[in-house]
């Protein structure tokens, strides 16, 4: 099979060139033992329904169901290990922001999954290749396929190669609780001073540096935190302090 295949069956417009599963596997850096499972992950139910002669082909809805859970597991495992002081409610909030259809659709768009989907004629002409729901579902289906064909470590690394950055962006965004801002507002209101942060220790190699930070309010150490960046460590120290003053 070449780099592209021309699909002229009932389910796709004539001469519409769809990029092959092999090309997608190469672009995402995953080696599949059975490339057919990736092809299934890219096959929409409309394509199967409009091509009854393809009675041996299955669509991607079962893989989507599996991939949804695998994405959730990869993110939950990462959050659980990365943020040992976060309570269940905070972890749930971060996960819900990260593992959302708009986010997964954007990942599908980034991977150009619309170029690889096998769609029925109706989905094709109605713009299915650009539709958020189809792109998000396709991303989940691919995750399910990677999990079945490889292993949990491989698929987790794949998921987190995209969502790890999004998790950090979520922590830095207004959508997630900004403890440094909360603590500063509290301190200025009650003490008329700004919290002071101090790095008390650094450890680890350059590529995996861990910073330990304490925050004083006004002169007492009210919270400590650690992280892989000064910003993250200060945020964790502020969280520790703010939860203390909230009591």
CATH number, domain containing residue 184: 3.30.160.20
Q: What is the pLDDT of residue 114?
A: 92
Under 8 Å between Cβ of 154 and 144: no
Q: What is the pLDDT of residue 44?
A: 92
Q: What is the pLDDT of residue 5?
A: 44
For the chain, how big is the Rg over CA atoms in Å? Answer: 23
How does DSSP classify residue 118? B
Under 8 Å between Cβ of 171 and 239: no
Q: Show the domain range for 113.
A: 4-172
Instruction: Per residue of the chain (247 residues), give pLDDT as tens.
Output: 344 443 433 344 443 566 899 999 999 999 999 999 999 999 998 888 888 776 667 899 999 999 999 999 999 999 999 888 787 877 887 888 889 888 999 999 999 999 999 998 888 888 888 888 899 999 999 999 999 999 999 999 999 999 988 888 887 665 556 788 888 888 888 888 999 999 999 988 887 788 999 999 878 898 998 887 888 889 889 988 888 887 6
- Distance between CA 247 and CA 44 in Å, rounded? 52
Number of domains in the chain: 2
Q: What is the pLDDT of residue 215?
A: 95
Catalytic-labelled residue, pool 64, 140, 149, 232: 140
* pLDDT, tens digit (0-9, with 9 covering 90-100), for 157-179: 999 999 988 888 887 665 556 78
Please state whether beta strands 221-227 and 210-216 pair in parallel, antiparallel, or not at all (unpaired): antiparallel
Residue finishing a domain among 142, 172, 202: 172
Under 8 Å between Cβ of 20 and 7: no
Residue finishing a domain among 172, 188, 206: 172
Strands (E), the chain: 4-7, 16-19, 196-203, 210-216, 221-227
Tell me whether residue 88 is one of the annotated catalytic residues: no
Catalytic-labelled residue, pool 50, 64, 68, 178: 68
Residue finishing a domain among 146, 172, 198: 172
Give the DSSP H/E element, type plus range, for residue 106. Answer: helix 101-110
Q: What is the pLDDT of residue 15?
A: 35
How does DSSP classify residue 91? H
- Residue 127 shares a structural domain with residue 224: no
Tell me whether residue 68 is one of the annotated catalytic residues: yes
């Amino acid at each position: 099979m070449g780099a592209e295949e021309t699909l002229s069956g009932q389910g796709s417009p004539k001469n519409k060139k769809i990029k092959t599963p092999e090309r997608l596997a190469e672009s995402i850096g995953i080696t599949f033992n059975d490339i057919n499972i990736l092809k299934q992950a890219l096959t929409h139910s409309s394509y199967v329904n409009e091509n009854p002669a393809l009675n041996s082909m299955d669509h991607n809805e079962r893989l989507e169901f599996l991939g949804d859970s695998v994405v959730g597991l990869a993110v939950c495992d990462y959050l659980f290990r990365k943020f040992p002081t976060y309570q269940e409610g905070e972890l749930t909030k971060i996960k819900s922001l990260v593992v959302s259809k708009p986010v997964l659709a954007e990942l599908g768009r980034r991977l150009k999954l619309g170029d690889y989907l096998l769609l029925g004629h109706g989905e094709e002409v109605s713009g299915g290749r650009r539709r958020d729901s189809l792109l998000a579902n396709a991303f989940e289906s691919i995750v399910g396929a990677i999990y079945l064909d490889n292993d949990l470590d491989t698929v987790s690394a794949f998921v987190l190669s995209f969502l790890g950055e999004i998790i950090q962006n979520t922590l830095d965004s207004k959508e997630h609780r900004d403890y440094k801002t909360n603590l500063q507002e509290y301190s200025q209101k009650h003490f008329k001073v700004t919290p002071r942060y101090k790095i008390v220790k650094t450890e680890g190699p350059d590529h995996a540096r861990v910073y330990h930070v304490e925050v004083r309010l006004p002169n007492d150490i009210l919270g400590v935190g650690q992280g892989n960046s000064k910003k993250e460590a200060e945020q964790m120290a502020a969280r520790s302090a703010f939860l203390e003053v909230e009591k």
